[in-house]
Chain A
Amino acid sequence: MTRNENGPLSDDRGEMNHHTPFAQRDADAAVGGRVPANPELVAVQRALTHMKEALVMQPTPEAVSTHAAQFAAAVHPPTSAPEARHASPWRRRVSAAVALAVVSGFGVAGAAAADEAAPGDALYGIDRALETVGILNGGTGERLEEAKKLLDNGDVDAALQLVSDAIESDGNNEAATGLRNAALAVASQSSGDDVRSRVSAMLEWMAGEDSKGAEFGAAVSERARQLSGNDAPNDDAAGNANDHAAGNAGDDAADNANDDAADNANDDAADNANDDAQGQPDVAGENRAPAADEAPGVEVGKP
């Protein structure tokens, strides 16, 4: 066909009655699956609806997850070339963490046993991650706001991913991994709603926090302590956080400290994700309060 926007198209065969167009609303109804007012088009609408039913085949859940993983992997990292080189191992680990989160249903406690993880380790992991976040010089606020919106929609996984990305783009890759893994570790030890509530509350608070650098680090630790309602491991962490923050604020050589944090968190995540024995039900009640309103009816991570 040749296009001709001003007159009859070249495939018009010219019967006279064909020049009277159907009313726009009738035509729209006929193609849109609604019964048109014009009786001439009722049978056409029905035929087109049947045609649609015959042509549209919804993919199976298996096909959805298989393909989605493929497409997700095909997304180019938004980072520039030098960063990308640095980011590549980090991306692998986060991908693994995301996969783990999906597999574990994000919040369904794991089954296998770990030998030595003491109670509170997961919380400690999250503190370590946050204290590493705390030494950053800010600039993540906007992304954290986006993360908050994702959380509002119940998308904990995406929110964490976004926060990880934000922290990474601040140049602190290991901190991002640490945060991710620490969250996973909590996930492995708590019920689904509890995890979401706590992560939601944590990230929401981070988004609203104005302080920077060492001050932020100290505030984060303080907040983490309130969140956990579990003093023993967090006193420790708070101390470390302040030390680290003081020592590393504005210091480009923070990589070593971050490596440690990330490695520990990594180990924690790996161990605890499979560890059912370390549940911490006691934190649920009081900590749900701030976050329950923020993440209603969430169903993330239930593939």
Chain B
Amino acid sequence: MLKEQFASALVAARTGAPWAWEAIYRDLAGVVGGYLRGHGAPDVEDLVSETFLSVAKDIHGFSGDEDAFRSWVFTIAHRRLHDAWRVRGRRVPVADGEDSQARAEQRWQGNVEDEAMASMSTEEVEALIGHLTAPQRDVILLRVVGDLSVAQTAQVLGTSEGAVRALQNRALRDLRKVVGDDA
């Protein structure tokens, strides 16, 4: 988050000041890329670049605070992701019931309770996320990776806050079954 720097960064970004775009990109590229990566996007780096190019081209049309800005950037990233899938003739991967459950259980070998384990492998992340339906995945990735609030997530996904909370709750239930409960 740029916080109190954001307002001046936005003003300068509209003038095409490179420092402002550096600040914005440094702040958001990691999490936007993480969101796309979590969705198993092809060519994450390209999609991140396309997302920020769209942001730059439309920056004069944006007004609002940093929260609104982040929602907007993720909305664009989300659309870009779906565009990329459409272009490639691929369906948005949907975890549908037993298949995904079986697949996930088969591949999920994480032992995240182990404090010594610093991070997950790509496969473990895929396995964990594989437990979720596509809508749950949207919510979890936006909330966890994107650091978005429930309200921001609802805005990105074009749905209600209630729906986001319901999806989040169900996702947490499902994940709990996988990661165990010996806390």
Residues of A whose CB lies within 8 Å of any CB of B are: 1, 3-5, 8-9, 11-13, 17-18, 21-22, 24, 27-28, 30-33, 39-44, 46-59, 63-65, 67-78, 95, 98-99, 102, 146, 149-150, 153, 155, 157-158, 161-162, 165, 300-301, 303
Verify B179–A72 contact, CB threshold 8 A.
no
Sample of 7 further A-B pairs with CB below 8 A, known A1-B133, A22-B169: A8-B166, A40-B176, A54-B121, A55-B34, A55-B145, A59-B30, A68-B22
Q: Please give the number of chain B residues whose Cβ is less than 8 angstroms from any Cβ of chain A in the complex.
A: 80
In the complex, B84 has a CB within 8 A of chain A: no
When A and B form their complex, which 7 residue pairs have the shortest distance between CB atoms, in order from nearest? A42-B183, A55-B34, A158-B12, A56-B34, A68-B21, A68-B22, A74-B56
CB neighbors of A among B22-56 (8 A): 22, 24-26, 29-31, 33-35, 37-38, 49, 52-53, 55-56
CA distance A11 to B14 in the complex (A): 42
Verify A44–B163 contact, CB threshold 8 A.
no
Interface of chain B: mostly helix, strand, loop or mixed? helix
Could you name 26 residue pairs across A and B whose Cβ atoms are closer than 8 Å?
A1-B134, A1-B135, A5-B163, A9-B167, A13-B97, A22-B169, A33-B144, A43-B113, A48-B144, A50-B118, A53-B119, A55-B35, A56-B145, A57-B37, A59-B30, A68-B24, A69-B18, A74-B53, A75-B59, A102-B19, A149-B7, A153-B4, A161-B12, A162-B11, A162-B12, A165-B15
Known: A50-B117, A75-B15. A67 touches B125 (CB 8 A): no
CA distance A153 to B169 in the complex (A): 41
CA distance A64 to B26 in the complex (A): 6
Closest chain-A Cβ to B33's Cβ sits at a distance in Å of 6
Verify A157–B25 contact, CB threshold 8 A.
no
Contacts of B8 in A (CB 8 A): 146, 149-150, 153, 155, 158
Closest chain-B Cβ to A158's Cβ sits at a distance in Å of 4
In the complex, B90 has a CB within 8 A of chain A: no
In the complex, B162 has a CB within 8 A of chain A: yes
Known: A5-B163, A57-B34, A64-B29. A11 touches B175 (CB 8 A): no
CA distance A46 to B181 in the complex (A): 11
CA distance A107 to B8 in the complex (A): 21
Residues of B whose CB lies within 8 Å of any CB of A are: 4-5, 7-8, 11-22, 24-26, 29-31, 33-35, 37-38, 49, 52-53, 55-57, 59-60, 97, 110, 112-113, 117-122, 124-125, 128-129, 133-136, 140-141, 143-145, 147, 150, 159-160, 162-163, 165-170, 172-173, 175-176, 178-183
Closest chain-B Cβ to A274's Cβ sits at a distance in Å of 21
Closest chain-A Cβ to B135's Cβ sits at a distance in Å of 4
Verify B182–A43 contact, CB threshold 8 A.
yes
Known: A27-B169, A44-B175, A56-B33. A68 touches B59 (CB 8 A): no
Verify B170–A11 contact, CB threshold 8 A.
yes
CA distance A64 to B29 in the complex (A): 9
Contact for A31 among B37, B133, B143, CB less than 8 A: B143
Verify B163–A3 contact, CB threshold 8 A.
yes
Known: A78-B14, A300-B19. A41 touches B37 (CB 8 A): no
Contacts of A74 in B (CB 8 A): 53, 56-57
Closest B residue, CB atoms, query A9: B166
Contact for A67 among B52, B121, B159, CB less than 8 A: B52
